[in-house]
Structure 1
Amino acid sequence: MGAPDAALLSKQPSNMKKNILKILLPVLLLAVFLTGFALGRDSWQLPSEKNLQNTELSKPPGADFSLFWDVWNLIEAKFVNRDELNRQKMIYGAISGLVNSLSDPYSVFLTPDESANFKDELEGHFEGIGVEIGVQAGVLTVIAPLEGTPAKQAGLQAGDQILEVDGQATNDLSLDEAVAKIKGPKGTEVNLTILKKDQTETRQVKIVRDVIDVPVLKLEMNNNYAYVRLYDFTANINSEFKKVASQILQSDAGGIILDLRDNPGGYLERAVDLAGWFLPS
C-alpha cells in the first residue's frame, strides 16, 4: 500500500499549483484590465484636465455641468474621427447653442475672428464687395449695397437673393459662413448666383473684391432743406454728423430730412448720440 500512497502524495503539489494558477490567472487578467482602463480613463475621461483650460474660471455657483462633461467625454471616447476633433470649435459651438437657446434674434455669439471682422466693419473699413446681407424668409438676401463699392457697381440691390457663392448653395451656410465666403482679400473674385425680385431666372454676377471704406452719410441741399442720408451707425457717425451739422447751421436750410432707408444699423450708442441732436435733453 506504500507505493500507491507515495504516488498520490507526489501528485498533490502539482494539482495544488494548477488550482492556484486557475485562481490567480483571472485575478491577474482583471488587474491588467483595470490598470489599462485607469490609464485610458486619464486620456479621455478627464478632458478638463488634459485638453482644456480655465474650466472653473467664472463658473456660476450651483451650476451643474456634469451632463455637459458626460457628453464631451462620450465624444472623446466614441466619436469615429476623434483624432480630428477641434476642441476649440466644440467650445464655440457649445457657447453658440447656449446663446441660441434664448430664442432672441438680437443676441448672437461671435468667435474672436468673427468679432474682429465685425468691429472692422463698424469702424468703417474691411476687404470685400461692400454689401450688407441677412436672411429673409430663410434665404440669404441683400439688405443694402454700400455706395461706391464693387457690389453697388455690379448692380446688386436691396432684396436680391443670393442663392450661391462660388457654386456653393447658400442654404447650406449659416449667415456668418456666407459672409466669410463673400469677403476676401482685395483683387480676388467672388461669383454670386443672384435672383432678382419678381424674376424667375437667376444670373451670375462676378465681383472683384476691394478695400471697402464704409460711407457714413451724404449731405445734399435741396429746396431750402438739408437732405442727410445715413448709411450706417458706425463708430465715427457722430463726428461726421457734426461736420454736416455745422454746414447746415450756416446755410439757409429751413429743415432737415434724415433718410434711414436701407440703413442696417450699427452701434446703439452712436444712434443714441445722433438722436440727441434732435431730442430735448
Structure 2
Amino acid sequence: MNKNIKLKNAIIAIILTNLITVSLVVLLPIPFFGGKRLISKDLYDFTKRYDKLLKVENLIKNNYVDKKTIDENKLIEGAINGMVDSVGDPYTVYLDKQQFEDLLTQTRGSYGGVGIVVGEKEGKLTVIAPIEDSPAEKAGIKAGDIILKVDGKEISAKELEKAVSMMRGKEGTKVILTIFREGKGVKDYELTRSIIVLKTVKSQVLKGDIGYIRITSFDENTADEFEKAFEKLQKQNIKGLVLDLRDNPGGLLDTSVAIADMILPQGTIVYTIDTNGKKDVWKSDPQNINMPLVVLVNEGSASASEILSGAIRDFKAGTLIGTKTFGKGLVQNIIDLKDGTGLKVTIARYYTPSGECIQGKGIMPDIVYDLPKELKDKQLPIDEDPQIKKAIEVLMTKI
C-alpha cells in the first residue's frame, strides 16, 4: 500500500469517527462469538488501530467543561493536521481551504503576498528565493535568509505551509518578517503585500550575439513562454545562450521537463523512484537547440531548476556557472480531497540522468563563480553582473 493510499485511508478513518456505532465498539474486544467472526479481521484491525483516537474524541466531547463550544469539524481537521505533521517532512502537508486555493492560484500565475518561496534547510525555515520584482526582493530579502517570525509569531520549518499562509493576504496589507542572515544578524522587514504576477520568462540579446533567457519559476505557462523567447532570439541570429536559473525556486516538474526536452538531445531527462520502488522516466526527443549554452545557478536554484540544470550537466549540453544549488530532490503530488481542502505529499525522490539524487546536497556547478560580497545585496543591471560577464566569456570560447 503506497503512501497516498495510507494517508487517504487514515483520513477516511477520521471522517468515519462519528459513523462507527456503539455496538461495533462493544464487539471489538471479542471479534469471535460462538466460533464465528462477527466482523472481518481487516475491519477489526483497521478500527483497533484508531481506537485510541476515537476514545480521545469521546472523552473531549463528554468531559470538556465548555463542550457546547466544541466544533467537530475542527477536531477532525486538527487530527488530520497532527497525522500529516507526524510524517516529519515539511513538504508533506494538509492544506485547508484557503491554503489549497492559494497553492492552486500560485501555479496558475498570480496571488496576493510578499513574493517569497520558502523551504526547509538544516531544520530551518529558509528563503529559497524571493520572486523577481516582488515586495520581498525590493526590500532586500535574499536566498538563504532564515525566517524566524511572521508578525511577531515564531515559526519553524515544520510549519512551512502555515508560514506561507501567514505571509499571503490582500493587496495593500502589511506583514512583518523577522529575518536572520549569516554575518548580518536579525532584522525586521515590514512588507506591503501586492499581487504577485509571475511573468516567469525574460529574454534579450547581449553583446557578442549572445542570447539571454531568465526563468524565475516553472508554472503552467513557462514552457510556452520559453519557446517563444528562444524563437525570438533565434530570429536575431544569436550564436550562444545564457540560461539564468539563479534564485529560481522551482515549480512544476512537467514544465521543467518540457523545457529540458527543447534544449537536450535524445535521452533520459530525469527519473523518479517512489516508496514502492516504482520508477518513472521522462525522456527527450532528438530535436534540441544545438548551440553553446551556459546555465547560471546559485543557492536559490531549487527543485525543478535542479532537474533542468542537472540534466544539462549530465548530458554535457552546457556549462554550469555559479554556486552550489539548494538541494531539493523530492517530488510532491497535490491531492484534491474534494471538499475544498487538499493534501500535498512527497511521493518520490528524483534522480538526474547519471543516477544522482541531489536531496540535501545540491548540484556543484562546473565553474564555481560567486558574486563578490559587496555586490550580493545589490540589484545589478545585466551588463554589470559579474556572473553574466563570466558566462559570456565562457561562451565566446565555444562559438
Q: CA deviation at 1:186?
A: 1.0
The correspondence for 1:207, drawn from 178, 186, 191, is 191
Corresponding residue number in structure 1 for 2:95: 110
- The question of whether the paired residues in 2 share the 8 Å contact of 1:129 and 1:208 is answered with yes
Q: Which runs of 5+ in 2 are unaligned?
A: 1-15, 21-41, 267-284, 286-399
Aligned counterpart, 1:48: 18
Deviates more, 1:109-118 or 1:76-85: 76-85
Alpha-carbon separation, structure 2, partners of 1:98 and 1:148: 38
Matched, 1:244 2:214: no
Shift of 1:72: 2.3
1 CA distance for matches of 2:240 and 2:59? Answer: 66
- Unpaired segments ≥5 residues, structure 1: 1-45, 51-60
Query: Measured at CA, do residues 47 and 198 of structure 1 come closer, stay the same or move farther in structure 2, by a change above 3 Å?
Result: same
Superposed counterparts of 1:162-201, under 5 Å? 162-171=147-156, 174-200=159-185
| Segment of structure 1 superposing worse, 189-198 or 235-244 | 189-198
Cα distance in 2 between the residues matched to 1:103 and 1:74: 27
| TM alignment of 1:76-115, pairs within 5 A | 76-100=61-85, 102-103=87-88, 106-115=91-100
In structure 1, how many angstroms separate the alpha carbons of the residues matched to 2:109 and 2:227? 17
Contact 2:128–2:143 under 8 Å retained in 1:
yes
Mapped partners of 2:153, 2:252: distance in 1: 32
Q: Quote how far apart the aligned CAs of 1:111 are.
A: 2.3
Deviation at 1:144, TM superposition (A): 1.0
Q: What whole-Å deviation, never above 9, does each CA across 1:153-210 have from its counterpart, x for those lacking one?
A: 111111122222222222498222222222121111112222222123x222221111
Question: 1:48-79 CA distances to partner (integer Å, 9 max, x unpaired)?
Answer: 149xxxxxxxxxx6433444323322332234
Contact 1:217 1:229 survives alignment (8 Å)? yes
Among candidates 195, 209, 233, match of residue 218 of structure 2: 233
In structure 2, the CA distance between the partners of 1:108 and 1:180, relative to structure 1 (3 Å rule), is closer
Alignment of 1:62-73 (within 5 A): 62=43, 63-64=46-47, 65-73=50-58
Secondary structure of 2:211's aligned partner? strand
Q: State which structure, 1 or 2, has the greater radius of gyration over its C-alpha atoms.
A: 1
Cα distance change of structure 1 residues 169 and 137 upon mapping to structure 2, 3 Å threshold:
same
Runs in 1 of length 4+ with deviation above 6 angstroms?
A: none
Q: Give the match's secondary structure for 2:99.
A: helix
Shift in CA distance, 254/216, structure 1 to aligned 2, threshold 3 Å = same
Contact persistence 1:47–1:73 (CA under 8 A): no
1-structure distance, mates of 2:85, 2:188: 34
Taking structure 1 as the reference length, the TM-score comes to 0.70
Q: Percent identity?
A: 34
User: For 2:67 and 2:248, how far apart are their aligned partners in 1?
Assistant: 45
Opposite residue 140 of structure 1, the aligned amino acid is L
TM-score normalised by L of structure 2: 0.51
Which one has a larger percent strand, Structure 1 or Structure 2?
2
Cross-structure match for 2:37: none
State yes or no: 1:218 paired with 2:169. no
Is residue 2:224 matched to residue 1:254? no
Classify the secondary structure of the residue corresponding to 2:112: strand
One-letter identity of the residue aligned with 1:213: V
The alpha-carbon distance between structure 1 residues 83 and 256, as it changes in their structure 2 partners (threshold 3 A), is farther
Deviation at 1:82, TM superposition (A): 3.5
1:263 aligns with 2:258: no
Higher helix share: 1
Q: Deviations over 1:99-153 (max 9, x none)?
A: 4455555533322321110111111111111111223333332221111111111
CA contact (8 A) 1:132 1:143 kept: yes
Give 3-state SS (helix, strand or coil) of 1:235's partner: coil
Equivalent pairs, count: 225
Match of 1:34 in 2: none
For residues 153 and 105 of structure 1, the distance between their equivalents in structure 2, rounded to whole angstroms, comes to 27
Do the aligned partners of residues 142 and 102 (structure 1) sit closer, same or farther apart at CA in structure 2, a change above 3 Å counting? closer
